[in-house]
Amino acid sequence: MRYPVVLHNIEYAGFGAIAPDLPHCHCHAETLDAALQKMAETIFLRLEELRHAGKPMPKPQEVDTLRENPAFAGGIWAIIDVESI
């Protein structure tokens, strides 16, 4: 699945990232590349938790739809592609 991720540059603290379609799925890292790598791992782990709990995998929304949310204003958007588990 391909999940949209929004990253924000936190002044003097690196980057924070969230996957809006996956509750409780967020991370922080010092660089953009590190944040993207950590977010991919976080998404994979979150999907694994959902699978083990017998819960459905949330369907990813379109980035254009998510961009309309003011909470994500000024963010950097990326797509994290994780293999189905």
What is the total count of domains within the chain?
1
Q: What's the pLDDT score for residue 84?
A: 56
Please state, in angstroms and rounded to a whole number, the distance separating the CA atoms of residues 46 and 74. Answer: 25
- The one-digit pLDDT tens for each residue of the chain (85 residues) are 899 999 999 888 899 999 999 989 999 999 999 999 999 999 999 999 999 999 999 999 999 999 999 999 999 999 999 875 5
The residue segments making up the domain with residue 38 are: 2-81
With a CB cutoff of 8 Å and minimum separation 6, the contacts of 84 are 1, 57
Residues 6+ apart with CB under 8 A from 78: 4, 5, 7, 36, 39
Cβ contacts of 67 within 8 Å, gap of 6 or more = 77
Angle at 18 between CA 32 and CA 16, to 5 degrees: 40
The answer to whether 22 and 3 are in contact (CB under 8 A) is: yes
- CATH code of the domain covering residue 12: 3.30.160.250
CA distance 52 to 79: 24
Quick one: pLDDT at residue 32?
95
